[in-house]
A and B are shown apart, each in its own frame.
Chain A
Amino acid sequence: MNSFEILPHTADVRLRVKGKTLEALFKQAVLGMAQILKPNANIAKINANNTKQIKVESLNKEILLIDFLSEVLTLSQINKNIYNVSSLKFQDSSLEAELVGAKVDGFDEDIKAVTYHEAKITESKEGNFEVIITFDI
């Protein structure tokens, strides 16, 4: 099942993300991060015209995921937007994505950064993906 769950950490916030595919995992991670930034954000308010294209190249899929989330976080902070992923294409260890954004007044949580700390993507026998991501808040 595609899902995310916010977990406690001594000083920070962790997010457990599950996806049936790698693409679903990355999309869920963006949704989870948006949920931390603005728990009551109305994703339905997302404006189809407010789009951003991003391209990320990395060394492996874990680093790619963290770099991708970092880029989305930076855009969120600069543009005061919450983003969802409308399309995502992988090629080896790079990706191209289209984000759609919803303007927000501010955030409820100040995520300073997405960290590489222990971000290990695991794949189950059934082919489902899971990762735990640590955010510095």
Chain B
Amino acid sequence: MIAKKDLFKISDYLWEIPKSFRKDMRVAARFYASEKMLDDIFRDRSLDQLVNVATLPGIQKFALAMPDMHEGYGFPIGGVAAMDIKEGVISPGGIGYDINCGVRLLASDKNFGEIKPHLENLAESLFKEIPSGVGRGGKLKLSDKEMNEILEKGVAWLIKRGYADKNDLDFIESKGYLKEARADCVSSLAKKRGADQLGTMGAGNHFVEVDVIEEILDEEHAKKFGLFENQVAILIHTGSRGLGHQVATDYIKIMVRALDKYKIKIPDLELACAPFSSKEGQDYFSAMSAAANFAWANRQMITWHTRKVWNHFFGNSQLKLIYDVAHNIAKIEEYNGKKLIIHRKGATRAFPEQPVIIPGSMGTASYVLVGAEKAMKESFGSVCHGAGRMMSRHAALRQAQGREVKEKLSAKGVVVRTGSIRGLAEEAPFAYKNIDDVVDVVSGAGIAQKVARLRPMAVIKG
């Protein structure tokens, strides 16, 4: 186990576990945290998992973790790993099972006072219109041909069908599609699992929220992004659903079998990987890109449902897409003239001037940040992705009943619509780290700056 004595303090917000800590480490491990967060971080095995990541072939500079890190399996959640595309590996576990899980923020032209009388009904309509929960299908049942087109084209396919505005593409990371996607690398089982899931939220920590912008923290960027105080916004959090889960399962299985072939030794099978340049590596990257495209299309279909409901209540009032970020993804990016395959698992891309959306836990604040130049030098253009879980779902259930959680949220004026009252307790705010602490660390470290703070007014969950 790693103890505080093993850490080097780089700054008030950045810590290092040196390469000498364990002899199989190829690079040092670094993580962002404040001193007061360290005790919580030591409570689970996320740092041991980060050290395991530092052993992977071709890893560059540091295995990184963000302040919202928590224990996963194989890789910690909240991790960033950059591998050389020639010498390094790609690991499905470094992206996670929910490929391109992410968030998007839509902003309205209304202030909270204007929508307050309709809040209950608005939440009810969003709950009814957007399929959620486990196993509830979406509006579109995709044929094989349509599925393949979505996998390769992402959001652009939905524009042709009238489910997206042309302008939306400019406000989605990678314009809502990765060109490396190949539908033929996605198994038929994965396509079957996703066939009726486009435009569905799913369950767990996924949600749609009606938020109000509580505070503007950077006037200049808020104006540039189109945000103002007291503005009503909608936050959508979901991913690639069963399709992405199956792609990850299929390729981890393939890579476990290829470890001997490539003479790769790993401390945990969930770190299974293959050289990026190998057939297994390239096929996975193509399939993962296809699943990422499906996830962007999924958030776009949910946006379509949301806009339909919004227009029903507020006529021609617009919901403009502010930005859509992925937080479980691998992408080729260039740093210091070198092409790297960047794995982000529970971490968000934060390029300079790019909006970064950080959802808090259910019922607590969320943030809009803007990426900073320092992230390009220090963290492979990455920051945190959310509050970060601290307590198991079981422990959360032991601590509170779903009904109590709902009552507490109601007392704060938050409307809740959910298909699972038990799920509410599992996602209760006390089960997560404090989002303010997490965001203070990344802004204190200078890898992103705060732009606006959002407060939830209605939560819609599966």
Residues of chain A having any CB pair with chain B under 8 Å: 6-13, 59, 63, 67, 70, 74, 77-78, 80, 104-110, 112-119, 134, 136-137
Contacts and interface: CB of A to CB of B under 8 A. Distances in A.
Which of the listed residues B74, B246, B391 has the most CB atoms from chain A within 10 Å of its own CB? Answer: B246
Nearest to A115: B73
Interface stretch (B4-12, B129-137, B212-220, B290-298): B129-137
A117 B135 contact: no
A11 B135 contact: no
Contact of A134 (B73, B249, B389, B391): B73
A115 B248 CA distance: 10
A10 B70 contact: yes
Nearest to B252: A116
The 4 closest A-B CB pairs, nearest first, are A117-B73, A106-B135, A8-B394, A116-B269
Contacts of A8: 392-395
A9 B392 contact: yes
Q: Chain B: interface residue count, which band?
A: 35 or more
B435 to A, nearest CB: 16
Contacts of A77: 135, 193, 242
Given A10-B389, A70-B249, A74-B189, A117 B71 contact: no
Interface of B: 44, 70-74, 77, 96-98, 133-136, 189, 192-193, 202-204, 242, 245-246, 248-249, 252-253, 256-257, 268-270, 272, 389-395, 420, 422
Nearest to B192: A78
Given A10-B71, A11-B77, A117 B269 contact: yes
Nearest to B259: A59
B74 A117 contact: yes
Contact of B98 (A70, A109, A112): A112
B450 to A, nearest CB: 26
B77 A112 contact: no
Contact of B134 (A63, A110, A113, A117): A110
Contact of B135 (A6, A63, A80): A80
A74 B193 contact: yes
Contacts of B389: 10-11
Nearest to B398: A8
Contact of A106 (B133, B242, B248, B392): B133
A64 to B, nearest CB: 11
A115 B268 CA distance: 11
A136 to B, nearest CB: 5
17 contacts: A10-B389, A11-B71, A13-B393, A63-B256, A70-B249, A106-B133, A107-B135, A109-B203, A110-B202, A113-B248, A116-B268, A116-B272, A117-B74, A117-B268, A117-B270, A118-B268, A137-B204
Contacts of B203: 109-110
Contacts of B393: 8, 11, 13, 137
B142 to A, nearest CB: 14
A10 B420 CA distance: 20
